[in-house]
């Protein structure tokens, strides 16, 4: 059965995020390990880390997932930006390891020139080699396809897996809103089946570890990254019911990234996922 949870703020510390996850009834948890707006990350506090590990263990909240800041760009042509991105990705994997998290999730970035995917490949190889002591798996997330976003098609992400020399340390994160915006129909039974077939063909379902469960505010193929509450968008409740009950996805975990205005909204979306998977 798919485990479900939320992306929660670490304001006030990781232990506080873990307590919030337990109070909401999360079975898994995603978070940033640093400010997503930039700046140097605060060193991890050993007591806070110990509390986080204890609470997540006591309440069986697993896996824990760290999402990197959105401003990173693995495809950047600028050498200083490449080094900056590499340093943060390595640091995020080390911080995730210390927290006891299983996965770090990143987008591929932006790039329109012929060598953009080559730069991503080389970046991933350097990051995984530099973080070789970490047992954390780096997951590549599909994009919606806005502007010069890379990795919006499963073929593009599959190319990275097939060409990367260290692909055994890489996995896949499927964002439902992004996939729908990119043209993968998760709202109908036939469309859902075809989407899983495309994941299997180009990436491999065994690489799919995390699902970002987000309904879509905009219609199929819009290329617009606009998340919506579960059942209130174009994917709809039946789309998520198929997703949450698919036999092929029973070992995957799903994390909400729906509009988080209040804890009540998180609770409502989480309860919706639990109801639809039953």
Is the pLDDT reported for residue 170 higher than 80?
A: yes
Q: Tally Cβ neighbours within 10 Å of residue 250.
A: 12
Is the pLDDT reported for residue 262 higher than 90?
A: no
Adjacent-strand bridge partners of 105: 67, 139
**CA-to-CA distance for 73 and 123, rounded, in angstroms?**
10
Instruction: For strands 170-175 and 137-141, give the pairing.
Output: parallel
Adjacent-strand bridge partners of 5: 28, 255
SS3 81: helix
Tokens of 183: 């043209």
Q: State residue 122's pLDDT score.
A: 95
Predicted confidence band of residue 118 (pLDDT cuts 50, 70, 90): very high
CATH number, domain containing residue 80 = 3.20.20.150
DSSP state of 75: T
Single pTM value for the model: 0.97
**CA-to-CA distance for 254 and 230, rounded, in angstroms?**
12
Q: State residue 261's pLDDT score.
A: 67
Residue 273's domain comprises: 3-277
Q: pLDDT digits over 150-162, tens only? A: 999 999 999 999 9
Looking up tokens 């994997």 gives 93
Q: Are 171 and 157 in contact (CB under 8 A)?
A: no
Is the pLDDT reported for residue 112 higher than 70?
A: yes
Lowest mean per-residue pLDDT among 55-64, 98-107, 217-226, 252-261: 252-261
Looking up tokens 């485990």 gives 3
SS3 5: strand
CA–centroid distance for 202 within its chain: 18
Domain count, the chain: 1
pLDDT-above-70 percentage for the chain? 99
Averaged pLDDT score across all residues of the chain: 96
Q: Nearest Cα to 7, choosing from 277, 269, 274?
A: 269
């Amino acid at each position: 059965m798919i485990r479900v949870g939320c992306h929660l703020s670490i304001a006030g510390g990781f232990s506080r995020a873990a307590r919030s996850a337990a109070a909401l009834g999360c079975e898994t948890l995603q978070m940033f390990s640093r400010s997503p707006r930039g700046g140097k990350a605060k060193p991890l506090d050993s007591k806070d880390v110990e509390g986080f590990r204890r609470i997540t263990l006591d309440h069986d909240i697993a896996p824990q997932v760290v999402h990197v800041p959105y401003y990173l760009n693995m495809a950047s042509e600028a050498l200083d930006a490449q080094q900056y991105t590499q340093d943060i990705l390595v640091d995020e994997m080390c911080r995730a390891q210390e927290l006891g998290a299983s996965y770090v999730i990143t987008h591929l970035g932006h790039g329109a020139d012929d060598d953009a995917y080559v730069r991503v490949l080389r970046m991933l190889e350097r990051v995984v080699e530099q973080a070789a002591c970490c047992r954390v798996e780096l997951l590549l997330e599909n994009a919606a396809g806005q502007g010069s976003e890379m990795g919006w098609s499963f073929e593009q992400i599959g190319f990275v897996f097939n060409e990367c020399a260290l692909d055994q340390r890489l996995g896949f994160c499927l964002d439902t809103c992004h996939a729908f915006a990119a043209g993968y129909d998760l709202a109908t039974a036939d469309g859902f089946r075809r989407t899983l077939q495309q994941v299997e063909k180009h990436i491999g379902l065994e690489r799919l570890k995390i699902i970002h469960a987000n309904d879509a505010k905009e219609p199929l193929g819009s290329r617009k990254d606009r998340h919506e509450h579960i059942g209130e968008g174009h994917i709809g409740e039946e789309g998520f019911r198929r997703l949450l009950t698919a036999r092929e996805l029973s070992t995957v975990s799903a994390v909400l990234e729906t509009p988080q205005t209040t804890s009540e909204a998180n609770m409502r979306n989480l309860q919706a996922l639990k109801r639809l998977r039953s």
